[in-house]
Every structure is written in C-alpha cells, then in structure tokens.
Amino acid sequence: MALRLLVTGKDGQIAKALARAASGEVEIVCAGRPELDVTDAASVRAAIARHRPDIVINPAAYTAVDKAESEPDIAFAVNRDGAGNVAKEAAEAGLAIIHLSTDYVFSGEGSAPYVETDATGPVGVYGGSKLAGEAAVARANDRHVILRTSWVYAPWGNNFARTMLRLAGDRDVVRVVADQWGAPSYAPDIAAGILAVCGAVAERPLQADWHGVFHMTNGGCTSWAGFAEEVFARSREAGGACAAVEPIATAQYPTPAKRPANSRLDNRRFNATFEHELPHWRDGVRRFVEAVREG
C-alpha cells in the first residue's frame, strides 16, 4: 500500500515540488486554503479526517521577510500558531509531523556552519516567528521532525533565482549582495529529502533516532552574488537571459528586515540519520535552468 502524505500550503514551492514527486509508492495530497487553513485548527482537523494520511508535512508559512516587520501578528499567526495547530491535530490523529523551518532562526554571527544544537537568535520578525513555530510543533507533537533549510527556490513561485532571470531580461548589470552566505536549496531536492524522512518514519515508527531538529540544505555554500552569477552562467549556456553581477555590501541595499550574514547550516546529522544527502547547490541551479527553459 502506498504511503499517503498530507501536505499543507498547496501553492508553495515545496508543496508543488512534493506533488511532482508522487509515485506508485507515495501518494501525496496537497491542501491549502480554504480547505485547509493552518490558522484554523478545525479545518486542519477536517482535512486530516478527510484525507486519512500516514504522515503530515507542513511547509505552509508566511515567508514575506520584509513585510513581516510591519505585519508581525500575521507572521506569528501562521508561522507559530498555524504550525502548532497542524502539529497538534496530527498528534490527535496519531500521526507524525514533518515541519519545515529556516536558517533565519540564527543570528548569522560567525562564519562556521550552524549545527542543530547551536544557540538560536533570530534578528527579524520572520525568523522569530519561525523559531516560535518550531517550539509550538515540539510541544504539540512528540513525533516531530523539524527540517531547517535555506534560500529556497524553484522553477515556479516567487524566489531569488526567478527574479534574477526576470531582471536579466531588461538589465545588463544586476547589483547583488555579496556578504551574506548560505546554501541555495532547490525545492525538488528538498522534496526528495522530505521523502527520505518519510521513509524513516514509516520504516521505524517506534525508534527515536528520527525525532527532533535537522538541518537539510543543498551542499556547499555561496553568497547571493555568487548564486546570481551561477544562475546567469547556466542560463547563458542554455541560450537564455543573463547579466553581469555587481557585488555590493548589505549596507548598500537596505531592507526593512535585517538578514543573517551567515546562513550556513551543517547537514551532517541529517545525512547520517536518513542516509540521504542533497546534491551540491550548483547542480540544483543547473537543473533549475533546464526546467525553466523547458517551461
């Protein structure tokens, strides 16, 4: 019998990547508003009862980092309270939850990759709301996996890589921040990682090794400027739009929300626990450009 997964936030980048990863062994149901509104516990409960999943996956989130500074109530309603609702209703149904979180729970100080036990310290409302969501999930459901990832992009949705290609359509030079570092993480690779977690949850439900917080990003790291340069280089090779990148400092591009300078995450715990490693970020960019070109 196929493993049945219920995914929140059907229009999100990760939800769409999961939907495309369905197979004969994994049935994936993506549900969003109005059927499933994470801020409405009753709708979450009804969706779980209707779809009868084996595992619940929660990538649904308020992700407008700058807008969150002026809308903290909405950000916390979705990222903290909504996450808690999904975790609680999954627990009530006897189900594990896989919850997606972010590198923005850290302050960005230092240069070493963060491990799961490092002290958190978000510098903005978005990161604060996501950290509160992690705590809400852990309180509500003992059978939880919290996956922190970073710099998510896909051939669909609103994301940095797609924005760069759009800007290259009418600009010769694009100015991009070069002093923030992290791992661009391709949504289809994140989806594959989530499915590896689901396999562990299904195969060893009574073991505790898969519980808790894990870091899961594509391999390697770069700056936003380096990310843009790679997108343009691969697009140029494919005959698509490209531009030159002018590296700038964060101070030259002020935004309402402060971003962590160091978003590096150490993936070794995830890789060892789930026997799965996401590809290098450059490989993700190559496949992203191919997918965009194929339409």
Long-range contact set of residues 200-203: C-beta below 8 Å, sequence gap at least 24: 200/273, 200/274, 201/55, 201/96, 201/98, 201/143, 201/145, 202/3, 202/54, 202/55
Residue reference for tokens 């309603």: 77
Ranges assigned E (strand) in 150-292: 152-153, 173-177, 181-182, 185-186, 212-215, 222-223, 244-248
H, E, C per residue of 100-144:
EEEHHHCCCCCCCCECCCCCCCCCCHHHHHHHHHHHHHHHHCCCE
Q: Which of 126, 153, 186, 253 is catalytic?
A: 126
In this structure, the chain runs to a length of 295
Is 126 among the catalytic positions? yes
Measured CA to CA in angstroms, residue 86 lies from 40, 120, 225 at distances of 9, 23, 36
**Cα separation of 57 and 87, whole Å?**
9
Residue positions annotated with a catalytic role: 126
